[in-house]
Amino acid sequence: MLNIQNMKSDFNFMTNPFYKTNKWERKRAVILRRDKYLCQESRRYGKSVPAKTVHHIYPLEDYPELALVDWNLVSLSDKWHNAMHDRTTRKVTELGKQWQERVRDKFEEWKGSDGQNNFH
């Protein structure tokens, strides 16, 4: 069982213990395979750029309940992943908000279920 409180308190993704768990490693592999190991932001522009990172559209530190939910995860290159977050303020950028808007219906459905749905 994931310890949600620990995830909420550790904002640094490099040291957050969640990213070292087997559950995350398995989910990360599934999402990269789903996205054919290609950056999904680059694909929007017709480019095939390898993806190394799986990004939480709704940030892990704000929504740890969505940590392993497929629709909240997207494969990105390092360049585009860095463009999703302001690394100083830790806020989602305008580009990150655009991705949130793309999955808003799924987020609202999840939120309407009091976050109890663990659907993928």
pLDDT tens digits along 55-75:
999 999 999 999 999 999 999
Cα separation, 104 vs 7, in Å, equals: 23
Average pLDDT over residues 79-94: 93
- What is the sign of the dihedral through the CA atoms of 95, 56, 7 and 15? negative
> Which residue, among 47, 26, 29, has the nearest Cα to 38 in the 3D structure?
47
Give residue 9's pLDDT band: very low, low, confident or very high (50, 70, 90).
very low
Contact residues for 50 (Cβ-Cβ < 8 A; gap 6+) = 37, 38, 39, 77
3 state SS of 21:
coil
34 versus 114: the higher-pLDDT residue is 34
